[in-house]
Amino acid sequence: MTEDDARRMANLEADNRRLRRPPYVVHLQDRLDARARAQAAADVSGVAPGDRLRIAQAD
């Protein structure tokens, strides 16, 4: 099995687990994932997620 095949299998398994969850749990996990991605981007860039919005509105 190649690395791409392993990645596809992992993605399919994750999709299957996701489909078995109630919609509100999936929605909550999506929001938590989005928040974690925003925080990770803020950690890398040094700009807090809320500050980006204020900076964009000021321009």
pLDDT tens per residue across span 4-58: 888 888 888 887 777 777 777 778 878 888 888 888 877 777 776 666 666 556 6
| H-type alpha helices, 1-59 | 3-19, 23-45, 49-58
**Best CA proximity match to 39, nearest among 56, 54, 52:** 52
pLDDT at position 2, please? 86
Return the residue matching tokens 């596809």: 8
How many residues belong to the chain?
Answer: 59
pLDDT at position 32, please? 84
Is the entire prediction scored with pTM above 0.85? no
Whole-number Å distance between alpha carbons of 48 and 42: 5
